[in-house]
Chains A and B, each alone.
Chain A
Amino acid sequence: AQSVTQLDSQVPVFEEAPVELRCNYSSSVSVYLFWYVQYPNQGLQLLLKYLSGSTLVKGINGFEAEFNKSQTSFHLRKPSVHISDTAEYFCAVNPRMDSSYKLIFGSGTRLLVRP
């Protein structure tokens, strides 16, 4: 079975400061990895995903994430945040198995950017 842990339920940060949102996963098989963002009362939007190749993945809105297989982590980073980045961020994994469609989500991290 797979599981995703986002240890920080909320991360407050000042505008223009760097931020890191942590994601750790547990899986008996290798996985694909995703980060999604959800603005208040909206659906989810893909920020970035890791399928294979370079472990550093760049996404939209200046976000990037690094896959670390030995630590089973996929932390999300941004060097300088804006007020508009205030949202909930979800990490998700998709097991690399035949016909596997399933996305397993973490509980989310609320990023609160203060002026």
Chain B
Amino acid sequence: DGGITQSPKYLFRKEGQNVTLSCEQNLNHDAMYWYRQDPGQGLRLIYYSQIVNDFQKGDIAEGYSVSREKKESFPLTVTSAQKNPTAFYLCASSIEGTSGGETQYFGPGTRLLVL
């Protein structure tokens, strides 16, 4: 089955620690996205990648970093600079990321908690 997988489902971060969230897709999509979801709020875009080895900051990129070395993979690192990392993180992909009106397909999410 084609889809998006995210791991782990739950992740715990200690003070001052960097953690990496995994996102893999086998939909052959060019574009991939990372969103942050907080209770009572909609999704906010962290980073976006339209093609391998290229990515752009979204609305709340501070304290996060990404890489896009393979088409299928778009890992997100939450660095120690992110002071309030507790949230639900969602990865998504779309066919091209250049044409308006594209459907974005979402993974099941990773819940990050701070110890």
A positions within 8 Å CB-CB of B:
4, 9, 32, 34, 36, 41-46, 49, 51, 90, 92, 94-97, 99-108
* Also in contact, A43 and B103, with CB within 8 A (given A9-B40, A101-B48): no
**Tally of A-B residue pairs with Cβ under 8 A?**
65
B16 is an interface residue with CB less than 8 A from chain A: no
B positions within 8 Å CB-CB of A:
4, 6, 31, 33, 40-45, 48, 50, 90, 92, 94, 97-98, 100-109, 111
Q: Flag if B109 contacts A42 (CB, 8 Å).
A: yes
Question: What chain A residues lie within 8 Å of B6 (beta carbons)?
Answer: 43
Q: Flag if B100 contacts A107 (CB, 8 Å).
A: no
CB distance from A111 to the nearest CB of B (A): 15
Question: What chain A residues lie within 8 Å of B33 (beta carbons)?
Answer: 101
Question: What chain A residues lie within 8 Å of B4 (beta carbons)?
Answer: 43
Q: Flag if B101 contacts A105 (CB, 8 Å).
A: no
The 8 closest A-B pairs by CB, nearest first: A105-B42, A43-B106, A32-B101, A44-B106, A101-B97, A51-B101, A105-B43, A43-B108
Question: What chain B residues lie within 8 Å of A104 (beta carbons)?
Answer: 42
Q: Flag if B98 contacts A4 (CB, 8 Å).
A: no
The residue of chain B having its C-beta at the shortest distance from the C-beta of A99 within the complex is: B98
Question: What chain B residues lie within 8 Å of A102 (beta carbons)?
Answer: 45
Choose among B43, B101, B102, B109 the residue that contacts A90 (Cβ–Cβ < 8 A).
Answer: B43
In Å, the complex CA distance between A4 and B107 comes to 23
